[in-house]
Amino acid sequence: MKSAKHLNKVRRRVPRLDFLARSIVEGYLTGLHRSPFHGYSAEFAEHKMYTPGEPIRFIDWKVYAKTGKFFIKKFDEETNMQVQFILDASPSMYYPQVEPYDLDRLNKIGFSVVAVAALCEILRRQRDAVGLSVFDEQLQLSTAAKTNTLHRQRILAELEKFWSRTPGRQGTALARNLHLIAEQLRRRSVAVLFTDFWATGTTMDAWIESLKHLRYKTAELLFFHVSDAETEDLFRFPDRPLRFRDLETGQSLNLYPSEIRAHYVRRRREMQQRLRDAAYRYDFDYYPVDVRTPFDEVLSAYLQKRLRMHG
């Protein structure tokens, strides 16, 4: 009974990811009739003025009743894309330490999970296929892209599971797992990667090679580089002695943040610039995103890419 009560208490704190994703997408799409993203779905079709000679069966009579003008519904063809989401669920992604389901203050895994769920909702409306790969030190999950409802429900359940779990003390085999995932993908797939790009035991060149492989094996690659920008990009901590602990190795270090801030920020920017250069060279889209970034920016990045592919 005690465990059942605890489970019920946890469930009350967990937002229904499908409802949450739907509310984010509905809020985002509210103004899309007047935006450049009208072409993503027949459910949010654009209207154009009726030209004499066009079939009258496409006239929107509801709009005519309101405006007294004839408009034609503009529908968009289905593209049947296959989108593979790739989620880094290594211990560093569970930084910063926050209430797991506080939507006003998300950690990196929480931001990534909610963003993936919202994109899945967009894909559901487009009738596109979606798959999910999740890795830390090992490849924990890999599903093929499918369109059916049960498959989508499974993906949301897996996302909730990884969001709510307590991570262990394992490392991140980022390059190795991206190579494995790349080998499993079909040429026509669109890969959407969420990672903080923190990993040990390999070089920056090896990481970029894995991104290059992923891009080579897919139609497109969108890479969302997730961070808590305030601390991980700008290294803004209280100016007093602090102990920093590596979430993956457990190693700790005592230091004054102000003594290394300038050096840290410079190295961080150099790393980000190398990723931008690689994105330009190997033709993938690189998006640094802060956990405080509105989800609209993630949805916009995806829809812009989709319109470039099918516009």
Tokens of 30: 């509210």
- Same domain as 116, residue 50: no
How far is Cα 38 from Cα 265, in angstroms, rounded to an integer?
40
Q: How many CA atoms lie within 13 A of 265 on its CB side?
A: 13
pTM: 0.82
Beta strands in the chain (DSSP E): 46-49, 71-74, 82-88, 129-135, 139-142, 189-195, 220-227, 242-245, 252-255, 285-290
| 304 or 207, higher pLDDT | 207
- Same domain as 154, residue 266: yes
- Whole-number average pLDDT of the chain: 84
Pick from 219, 209, 232, 227: nearest CA to 285? 219
The percent of the chain in helix, strand and coil, each rounded to the nearest 5, is 50, 20, 30
| pLDDT value at residue 52 | 73
- Same domain as 115, residue 136: yes
* Residue 7 falls inside a structural domain: no
| 5 or 107, higher pLDDT | 107
* Residue 181 falls inside a structural domain: yes
DSSP letter, residue 217: T
Pick from 167, 150, 146: nearest CA to 85? 146
Domain count across the chain: 2
* Residue 22 falls inside a structural domain: no
Q: How confident is the model at residue 31 (pLDDT cuts 50, 70, 90)?
A: low
| 294 or 49, higher pLDDT | 294
Q: How far apart are the first and last CA of the chain?
A: 57
Question: Residue 159: is its pLDDT beyond 90?
Answer: yes
| pLDDT value at residue 15 | 63
- Same domain as 240, residue 217: yes
- Domain encompassing residue 50: 42-74
- Same domain as 156, residue 105: yes
| pLDDT value at residue 311 | 54
Three-state secondary structure call for residue 96: coil
- Same domain as 149, residue 269: yes
The domain that contains 284 carries what CATH number?
A: 3.40.50.410
* Residue 69 falls inside a structural domain: yes
| pLDDT value at residue 234 | 95
Domain's final residue, options 54, 74, 94: 74
- Same domain as 122, residue 64: no
| pLDDT value at residue 78 | 43
Q: Beta partners for 289?
A: 226
The model's pLDDT over 287-309, given as tens digits with 9 standing for 90+, comes to 999 999 999 999 999 988 877 77
